[in-house]
Structure formats: structure tokens, C-alpha cells
């Protein structure tokens, strides 16, 4: 028997067994490393994606900012051009105003010199005239000035009186309009009262006609009853009672007519008397108001005539012309 061969087989079997265990362990370790590497790869891949997206966003923002920067630079350039043109125009205007001011100063200086020369010449002429002419008496001129001042004060007083008169005229015109309105109302009330009196008279006539008709009918009825003989009624107690009743009814109707007519006449008389007094008072008030308006009109006409008269001092225009 070859023991070496057996020993070699045993050693190979053990080596194979050890190798499989190590391989399993190494495989497990490699698998775990692979998983770790895969997770790291995914994480790195996500980070790369995020980085790319952030980079793209940054590029977009940079593009927008570049566009805004270009527009702002263009706006700044345009404003610089506008400001430069405005400054140029203002400088031109300032130069023009300076020239105008210089010309105005020169012109004013020339005018001042001319006026000074004129004043000097006038003073010399006045001095010459003063030396040549004798001393004048200014008393008449002072009197004329005093008269002018008094006339002016009188005119101011007349103006104030005229304004006051105008105010009174306006107030009296307003009062006249109020009085005219009151007269119109009084006349309307009087006309209305006349219409009421006329309607009352018409009602009175109608009532009198109705009373006359009723009275005629009553007489006709009583006459027809008197014509019939008592024998037709049988000369009974009923006939006498009927006669008494008819006579009593006749007397009662006559008494009612008399009383109603008396009461109506009293009421109508009192109403007519009151209406007559009211109308007379209205007419008297209207007459008084008309007289007052006429008197005020005459006074206003007199005031206007006085104010339109020319002043008595005929020398006043000449004095004013002299002054």
C-alpha cells in the first residue's frame, strides 16, 4: 500500500475544505464591499446630479445677471448721455442769461445816467426860474386846497349817504315785495270769503224755496182736510182726535220752521257781520299798505333827485384842473 498517496489525498481534501471556507468568507466580504461601494456609487451619483443641477442653475442665474448687467450698463450709458446733454444745455442757458444780465446792467446804467442828467437839468431850470420869478402868495392856493379837501370830504359823506340810501332802498324793496305778497294773500282770502258768502246766500235761497214748497204743501193738505165734513167721518171721537192731531202737527211744523229760520238768520247774520268786518279790515290794511308804498316811493324819488343834482360850487372843476 502506498501511504504517501493516501497522505496526499488527505492533504488535498483538507486543503480543499479550507479553501472553500476562506472563499466563502472572502465572497461574503467582497459582497459586503460591493454593497458598500454600490451605496457609495449611488450617493456619489446623486451628489453629482445635484452638483450638475446646481451648476446649471448657477449658469442660468449668471445668464440672467449678465443680461441685467448689460441692460443696466446700457441704461447708465443712456442716462450719462442725457445728463451730459442737459448739462450742456444748462451751460448754454447760463451763458445766455449772463449775457442778458450784462446787457440789462449796462442798459440800466445808461438809463440811470440819463435820468440823473434830466434831474440835474430840471434842478438847474427850477433854480433859474426861482431866481427870475418873484415870490408868489400861496394863500389862494392853500384856500383852494382846503376847499378841495372839504369838497372831497363832502363827496365822501355823500357817497356814504348814497350807499346807505341804496341799502335802505333794497330793504324797502324787500319790504314792499313782502307787503305786496301779504296784499295778494289778503285779497285771495277776501275773494274766498266772498265766494263762501255767495254760496251761503245760494244755500239760503234754496232753503227758503224748500220751506215755501213745504209750507204750500202743508196748506194744501190742511185745506183739503177742512173741506171734508165731520159727518163723512161719522162725527166720531176719532174724527176729533184726527183734527186735533193734524192741528198739533201743523203748529209743530210751523214752530220748527220759525225756530230754524230764526236760528239760521242769527247764524247767517253773525257770520255775515264777521265776514264784513274781516273784509273791511283787509281793505283798510291794503289801503294803508298802498299808501305806505306810495310814500316810500316819493321819498326815494326825492332822494335820487337830490343825489343827481350838480354841486353848487361851480369853481371846483377849475380848481382841480389848476391843481
CA distance 289 to 319: 49
CA distance 41 to 54: 19
CA distance 20 to 30: 15
Return the domain boundaries, the chain.
158-312
pLDDT digit string (tens) for 106-140?
A: 888 888 888 888 888 888 888 887 776 555 556 76
Q: How far apart are the first and last CA of the chain?
A: 180
Please indicate whether residue 264 or residue 316 has the higher confidence score (pLDDT). 264
Mean pLDDT of the chain: 72
CA distance 198 to 204: 10
Please determine, for residue 207, whether its predicted confidence score (pLDDT) is greater than 70: no
In degrees, to the nearest 5, what angle opens at C-alpha 142 toward C-alphas 139 and 145? 155
Q: Coil, strand, or helix at residue 231? A: coil
pLDDT digit string (tens) for 135-175?
A: 555 676 677 777 777 777 776 777 777 777 678 767 777 87
What's the pTM?
0.28
Asked if 285 contacts 186 with a C-beta cutoff of 8 angstroms, the reply is: yes
Asked if 189 contacts 285 with a C-beta cutoff of 8 angstroms, the reply is: no
Element of type H or E holding 89: helix 3-132
Confidence of residue 263 (pLDDT cuts 50, 70, 90): low
Please determine, for residue 192, whether its predicted confidence score (pLDDT) is greater than 70: yes
Amino acid at each position: 500500500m502506498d501511504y504517501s498517496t493516501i497522505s496526499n489525498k488527505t492533504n488535498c481534501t483538507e486543503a480543499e475544505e479550507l479553501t472553500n471556507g476562506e472563499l466563502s468568507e472572502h465572497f461574503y466580504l467582497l459582497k459586503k464591499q460591493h454593497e458598500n461601494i454600490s451605496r457609495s456609487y449611488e450617493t456619489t451619483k446623486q451628489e453629482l446630479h445635484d452638483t450638475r443641477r446646481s451648476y446649471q442653475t448657477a449658469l442660468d442665474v449668471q445668464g440672467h445677471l449678465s443680461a441685467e448687467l448689460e441692460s443696466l450698463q446700457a441704461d447708465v450709458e443712456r442716462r450719462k448721455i442725457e445728463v451730459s446733454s442737459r448739462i450742456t444745455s444748462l451751460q448754454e442757458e447760463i451763458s445766455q442769461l449772463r449775457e442778458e444780465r450784462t446787457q440789462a446792467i449796462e442798459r440800466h446804467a445808461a438809463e440811470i445816467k440819463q435820468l440823473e442828467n434830466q434831474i440835474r437839468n430840471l434842478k438847474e431850470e427850477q433854480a433859474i426860474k426861482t431866481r427870475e420869478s418873484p415870490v408868489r402868495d400861496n394863500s389862494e392856493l392853500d384856500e383852494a386846497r382846503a376847499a378841495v379837501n372839504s369838497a372831497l370830504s363832502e363827496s365822501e359823506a355823500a357817497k356814504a349817504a348814497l350807499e346807505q340810501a341804496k341799502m335802505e332802498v333794497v330793504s324797502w324793496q324787500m319790504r314792499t315785495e313782502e307787503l305786496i305778497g301779504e296784499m295778494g294773500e289778503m285779497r285771495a282770502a277776501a275773494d274766498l270769503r266772498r265766494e263762501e258768502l255767495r254760496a251761503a246766500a245760494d244755500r239760503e235761497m234754496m232753503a227758503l224755496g224748500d220751506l215755501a214748497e213745504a209750507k204750500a204743501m202743508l196748506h194744501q193738505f190742511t185745506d183739503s182736510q177742512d173741506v171734508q165734513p165731520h159727518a163723512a167721518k161719522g162725527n166720531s171721537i176719532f174724527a176729533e182726535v184726527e183734527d186735533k192731531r193734524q192741528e198739533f202737527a201743523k203748529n209743530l211744523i210751523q214752530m220748527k220752521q220759525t225756530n230754524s229760520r230764526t236760528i239760521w238768520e242769527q247764524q247767517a247774520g253773525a257770520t255775515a257781520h264777521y265776514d264784513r268786518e274781516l273784509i273791511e279790515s283787509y281793505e283798510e290794511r291794503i289801503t294803508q299798505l298802498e299808501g305806505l308804498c306810495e310814500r316810500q316811493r316819493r321819498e326815494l324819488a326825492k332822494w335820487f333827485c337830490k343825489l343827481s343834482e350838480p354841486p353848487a360850487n361851480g369853481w371846483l372843476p377849475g380848481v382841480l384842473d389848476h391843481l
